[in-house]
A and B are shown apart, each in its own frame.
Chain A
Amino acid sequence: DTGVSQNPRHKITKRGQNVTFRCDPISEHNRLYWYRQTLGQGPEFLTYFQNEAQLEKSRLLSDRFSAERPKGSFSTLEIQRTEQGDSAMYLCASSLLTGMNTEAFFGQGTRLTVV
């Protein structure tokens, strides 16, 4: 296994367009997280899945954002009607559901630029 994979690595879009990002977690990991990171800041939690169930969503996740994880495998994060404030690095992470001390493994992120 090569770790968490995110595609695309970079995305430039015009304001108002829709974008979709994909995350492929480590194969046996049942938890999958999405975070957003802006320049000079730490990752901010957006949402997470346990298998195919979306268990928690941050208030940062407006109704323009939607995430899915069909069949508990890969996940997609869609942003509709993008705004310039959506420009950020979107990070995906996965982990095993084995307790509090289990670390998350991160992908390299998708950098979104809204022009």
Chain B
Amino acid sequence: GDSVTQMEGPVTLSEEAFLTINCTYTATGYPSLFWYVQYPGEGLQLLLKATKADDKGSNKGFEATYRKETTSFHLEKGSVQVSDSAVYFCALKDNYGQNFVFGPGTRLSVLP
């Protein structure tokens, strides 16, 4: 079945450092890909998405590019802030648009 793999956390960075969180997927066909973020005490929020190969999703300084050849959707940000501390989930929506499959999440802590 479909699955999503993320780099294990926690990831601890200093403010203004560069962030990469790796995400790879296994799916039949061509899924849509998403990054969701969960801030402490809050529900999951969509951060960005990409629907086809080579699409780049971006929001709040975060970017991710849909790489079909490597089945990856790595999340990047050039300069993290303390307020980016959260858990980040990579997810896919399968070929038939039925349900969402999530990775295990990566906890990010940004220190001032």
Using C-beta atoms within 8 Å of the partner chain, give the interface range for chain B.
20 to 34
Q: Shortest Cβ distance from A6 into chain B, in angstroms?
A: 8
Q: Shortest Cβ distance from B11 into chain A, in angstroms?
A: 14
Binds A, one of B67-75, B78-86, B92-100: B92-100
B31 and A91 within 8 A (CB): no
- In the complex, chain A residues whose CB is within 8 Å of the CB of B58: none
A42 and B34 within 8 A (CB): no
- In the complex, chain B residues whose CB is within 8 Å of the CB of A43: 44, 89, 100, 102
Grouping DSSP codes into helix (H, G, I), strand (E, B) and loop, the B interface class, with mixed when no group exceeds half, is strand
Please measure, in the bound complex, the distance between the C-alpha atom of A108 and the C-alpha atom of B42, giving whole angstroms: 6
B97 and A99 within 8 A (CB): yes
A101 and B89 within 8 A (CB): no
B95 and A41 within 8 A (CB): no
Contact of A42 among B97, B99, B105 (CB under 8 A): B105
**A-B contacts besides A33-B100, A45-B99, 13 pairs, CB < 8 Å:** A4-B43, A40-B105, A41-B104, A42-B91, A43-B89, A48-B98, A48-B99, A100-B31, A101-B32, A101-B51, A103-B34, A108-B42, A108-B43
Between-chain CB contacts (< 8 Å), 14 pairs: A33-B99, A42-B91, A42-B102, A43-B44, A55-B98, A56-B98, A100-B31, A100-B32, A100-B95, A101-B32, A103-B34, A103-B49, A104-B46, A106-B45
